[in-house]
Each structure stands twice: as C-alpha cells, then as structure tokens.
Amino acid sequence: MFYHSTRDAGDSVTSKQAILTGIAPDGGLYVSDQLGASRLDLGRVCAQGYHATACDVLGTLLPDYTADEVRSCVAGAYADNFDTPAVTPLTPLGQDWLLELWHGPTCAFKDVALQMLPRLMSVARASEGTAGGVMIVTATSGDTGKAALDGFADVPGTGVTVFYPAGKVSDVQRLQMVTQRGANVAVAGIRGTFDDAQTQVKRIFANQALAERLAARGVVLSSANSINVGRLVPQVTYYFDAYAQLVKAGRVAAGDPVDFCVPTGNFGDVLAGYYAKRLGLPVGTLIVASNTNKVLTDFIETGTYDRRRDFVKTISPSMDILVSSNLERLLYYLTDGDCEQVASWMGQLSATGTYTLPSHLMDRMRETFACGFATDDQTRATIRSAWDDHGVLIDPHTAVGACVLGRLPHEGRERVCLSTANPYKFSADVLAALGHDVDGLDGFACMDQLERLTGVPAPRQLSALRTAEVRHPDVCDQDEMLGFVESACARVFA
C-alpha cells in the first residue's frame, strides 16, 4: 500500500515515509488508492479486544510495518498509560452510547493517536535509516499540543515544538502544556487564533531555506497534527472496537448498521470513521457535529466551503476551527482520486477563502454524512440535561455531539456519540452549565466544586497541575514562530 499527495499522484511513498514527513511536499495530504481494497474480518473483530483490532487496522493501513513492529507499537501505546484495559469504553447515555476516548494520560481523545505516533515514527526512523533528528512542529487548538508533548517527551531522536493560541484555551489546557517536562520540548503561545497558528506552521513546513538550514544539522521537520497518516490510522480502531462492544453486549448483530456522531474540528476524527466504513465496518451515518464555527455544517448543507467569516471563541475550543484540513482527504475520495480537482479547490480556498463542490458530489457525500451544530447555550443545556436526566458528566465537546445527535430522529438504530475529553479539562464551563456561579473562581476552584457537587473524581494528572512548575511562559507573534522553531532545533539537537 503506497501513499501519495491528494494534489498529485506522481510520487508514491511508503506508509513509513508518509508518517515521517507528515505532509506531502506540495502541501497535500497523504492518501492511498488502496483504501478499502482489503477489509477487516468483522466476525473476528467482534470477537477480539482492543489490542488485536488495533493490530488488524494498523496492519491493513500501514502494511510496510511488520506484524512484530505493529504488535510492539500497539502494546506500548495502550498499556497502563490508559486508566482502563478497555482503552475506549462504551457507556450509556439515555438511549444512545458514549464512546469514552479520554482515558489516556492527557484526558482527551488525541492520546489514542499520539501515544502511538511516536512509536510509529521511531520504527520508521530505524528502518529508513534516518540518522538525524525529527522535530515535530504542531499547532494546537488546545488538546493536540499536550497530547503531542506527552507522547514525544524524551523520545530519543525527536523533539516537539507546540504553538497554542494564547488566551483561547482553558486554564487547565494551558497549564498542561506550559508545565510539560522533558529535555526535547518547546512550547509557546501565539498572538492569534488556532487557524493563524496552523497557517504559520504550514508555511514553516513549506519554507525551503529553513529546510536546508536544518538539513545541514541533520534535522527534518514533521507534523503531529491530524494531517499525519500516523494520527489518522490509530483512530480507525475505536470505531471497530465500539462496534465490537455493541455486539458483545447483544445490542447489535454483526452486520447491522450503527450511526456515529462526532464532535468535529479538523475533520480528523470523523474521517477515521469514514476509513472504518471503507474497511468494512457497517457504519450507517456519520454525523458531523460543529459548534458555532459551523463551517462544516454550512458546507454539507450548501456545497460551498466558506471560511470568510468571523472566528468565534466557544466553550468547545478544540473545535474552534475554520479550515478543516482533513476534509481534503475526503474530497480526494469523493472525486475518485481527482488530484487536479482537489488541488484546484485547495488553491481557491487559500486564494479566496471559498470553493464549491458540484451537486452530484455533495449528494454522494450526504449518502454517508449528516451534520448539525450547537451554540454555546445549547451545549450548556445538553451538559445540564445529561447530568440531571442521566447522571452522566460530559465535557462541552462531547455535549456538542450529544446535542446534535439528540435532535435527530432515532430510527431504531444504535447510535454512538464520540466523547472526546474528560469534563475536568473544562471544569469552569461545565460547572457553569450545571447552573453554578463561577465568577472569580479559577480552574482549580471549579474543579474542586465540580467534584463536591457530582462525586465524580477529577483525574489525578489534572488536579496535580495546581502545584506544577511553569516551564514555558513564552508568548510570541506569528512572525516569530519560525525563529522559535529554529532555536528549539538548535537547542534539542545541539
């Protein structure tokens, strides 16, 4: 199975090379034309556990990794760093299900991929004979940054630089990042939004002069954003495993369709559901749930992607995104691999901020994808009703999904809402949603009060942040980011 850019099928690379480089040299995303050519055995998946299914998924999508390499990556990524052997347990929410993806070390779903990616990269470096270092450069809307820092901290031969939008992440999210330990990590806030940070990071990757200066010290840059195939592939596993959990619980018979509702930002998580479908999972509808930055809802409804709108800061900050990078991969598959067309839309997006798909392609997309959005008020009301009616405490991102799902008619299918963060990452907003006055309370006071109120314990790694030392106080302008990366490379790979 070979990968090539969504914008040009000319040069193929192995999955190891795709994982090492992150993004294709022309700015496209790596895709494979063999997606779905070999499918997973559903009967087998329904009878086995998380690790075995992860091995099947990785083995299928990353076939140049040997079975032994895959097994050791899986065993290392999902061990006692997750607080439950189920890794991603399914729990009831009324008539529907929550797929809890936040049992990893940083309490957000990104751990599922980012505890794996450094292992995939280390194996790839060894077999590609890459002697030099890899500097991971990542823009984060809040959760990716910490998950990348935790995954890559002190991994030999790697460094990690994270940029987050200063003032636009929660207290706990910021502290998780600025207190990160490790000799190979660098963190800075930037003055701007997540989209600004992501745009600059893409420019840094495309900067040839920088690449040459770094190559002179044996350093290459790579990405831990969800544009990296090594992020996307591990996320496919939990769709299969969720289905297996439903079968084991007697809720569905193997073959019955199941709907998934996915709180979405960069379109990575929901795209993994589409990959699962292509690999043979009976996925009914994939529901794309957005917050007030509803660029995807508008796109799915109208066929026009239009980022020319005001960015809104919401209580689900990890979904405050106007450019959903991974949508480019779906466009590739929707057009049956028309690179020229994809490149043209992406060109229009960067030049004018918008592009429009023809209606037959939108019809095709709507066969699998539905959409909806939730305002902050609706999100709060959903947090409150989940607690009042079902005794389940959910975070604002999960609540966006639950709100959108709750509005859709049930139609007798089992439905799974992906639960993407532990509620204590967003204690202040959750406490306020439950009707409590949070004025003047800091993140930790909110955490304490939420614990007292609900009896649900806060994760240790979050409550311990109150006494952790701040190691990365830097905040910089967007035009200083390149220099920040370069000096981090000089320090880490001295």
Our CB check for ligand PLP shows the closer of 109 and 444 to be 109
CB of 98 to ligand PLP, least distance (A): 13
User: Residue count at the site for ligand PLP (CB under 6 A)?
Assistant: 17
Instruction: From 84-92, 186-194, 267-275, 459-467, give the range in contact with ligand PLP by CB under 6 A.
Output: 267-275
Residue 108 binds to ligand PLP (criterion: CB under 6 A): yes
Instruction: From 9-17, 39-47, 257-265, 404-412, give the range in contact with ligand PLP by CB under 6 A.
Output: 257-265
Task: Among 53, 173, 264, 382, indicate the residue that binds ligand PLP (CB under 6 A).
Answer: 264
What token pair was written down for 137?
Answer: 């450069």
- Order across the sheet with 475-476: list the strands: 219-222, 133-139, 158-165, 185-190, 475-476
Burial track 11-28 (b if 16+ CB lie within 10 A, e otherwise): eebbbbbbbbbbbbeebb
What token pair was written down for 476?
Answer: 């910089």
Instruction: From 45-53, 251-259, 262-270, 343-351, give the range in contact with ligand PLP by CB under 6 A.
Output: 262-270
Our CB check for ligand PLP shows the closer of 179 and 228 to be 228
Task: Among 103, 110, 125, 294, indicate the residue that binds ligand PLP (CB under 6 A).
Answer: 110
Our CB check for ligand PLP shows the closer of 150 and 269 to be 269
Site string for ligand PLP, 60-79 (x = CB under 6 A): --------------------
CB of 127 to ligand PLP, least distance (A): 28
Report whether 252 contacts 258 (CB < 8 A). yes
Task: Among 97, 194, 267, 424, indicate the residue that binds ligand PLP (CB under 6 A).
Answer: 267
Chain centroid offset of residue 361 CA: 25
- Measured between alpha carbons, how far is residue 57 from residues 100, 122, 239, 260, 410 in Å? 19, 19, 11, 18, 30
Taking 3-state DSSP, the helix, strand and coil percentages for the chain, each rounded to the nearest 5, stand at: 50, 15, 35
**Is the alpha carbon torsion for 170, 175, 180, 185 positive or negative?**
positive
Task: Among 118, 151, 159, 268, indicate the residue that binds ligand PLP (CB under 6 A).
Answer: 268
d(CA 53, CA 50): 5
Q: By C-alpha distance, which of 105, 128, 100 is closest to 116?
A: 105
Our CB check for ligand PLP shows the closer of 198 and 341 to be 198
Cβ of 44: how many Cβ atoms within 10 Å? 12
Report whether 145 contacts 198 (CB < 8 A). no
Near ligand PLP in 283-322, by CB under 6 A: 318-319
Task: Among 162, 197, 229, 421, indicate the residue that binds ligand PLP (CB under 6 A).
Answer: 421
d(CA 321, CA 312): 9
Our CB check for ligand PLP shows the closer of 110 and 415 to be 110
Instruction: From 5-13, 102-110, 190-198, 203-211, give the range in contact with ligand PLP by CB under 6 A.
Output: 102-110
d(CA 47, CA 244): 7
Residue 263 binds to ligand PLP (criterion: CB under 6 A): yes
DSSP secondary structure letters along 262-318: EE-SSSHHHHHHHHHHHTT--EEEEEEEE-S--HHHHHHHHSEEE--S-----S-GG
Task: Among 176, 193, 266, 382, indicate the residue that binds ligand PLP (CB under 6 A).
Answer: 266
d(CA 439, CA 471): 28
CB of 230 to ligand PLP, least distance (A): 14
Residue 150 binds to ligand PLP (criterion: CB under 6 A): no
CB of 197 to ligand PLP, least distance (A): 14
- Measured between alpha carbons, how far is residue 189 from residues 117, 186, 336, 472 in Å? 24, 11, 40, 9
Residue 420 binds to ligand PLP (criterion: CB under 6 A): yes
Our CB check for ligand PLP shows the closer of 122 and 140 to be 140
Report whether 163 contacts 135 (CB < 8 A). no
d(CA 413, CA 397): 23
Residue 269 binds to ligand PLP (criterion: CB under 6 A): yes
Our CB check for ligand PLP shows the closer of 244 and 319 to be 319
CB of 423 to ligand PLP, least distance (A): 10
Q: By C-alpha distance, which of 64, 66, 91, 158 is closest to 118?
A: 158
Our CB check for ligand PLP shows the closer of 46 and 386 to be 386
CB of 63 to ligand PLP, least distance (A): 24
Task: Among 397, 434, 438, 458, indicate the residue that binds ligand PLP (CB under 6 A).
Answer: 397
Our CB check for ligand PLP shows the closer of 293 and 341 to be 293
What token pair was written down for 146?
Answer: 């910490």
CB of 266 to ligand PLP, least distance (A): 3
- DSSP 8-state code for residue 157: T
Residues in the chain: 494
Near ligand PLP in 195-234, by CB under 6 A: 226
Cβ of 491: how many Cβ atoms within 10 Å? 12
CB of 225 to ligand PLP, least distance (A): 9
CB of 183 to ligand PLP, least distance (A): 26
CB of 487 to ligand PLP, least distance (A): 28
Interface with ligand PLP by CB under 6 A: which residues?
108-110, 143, 226, 263-269, 318-319, 397, 420-421
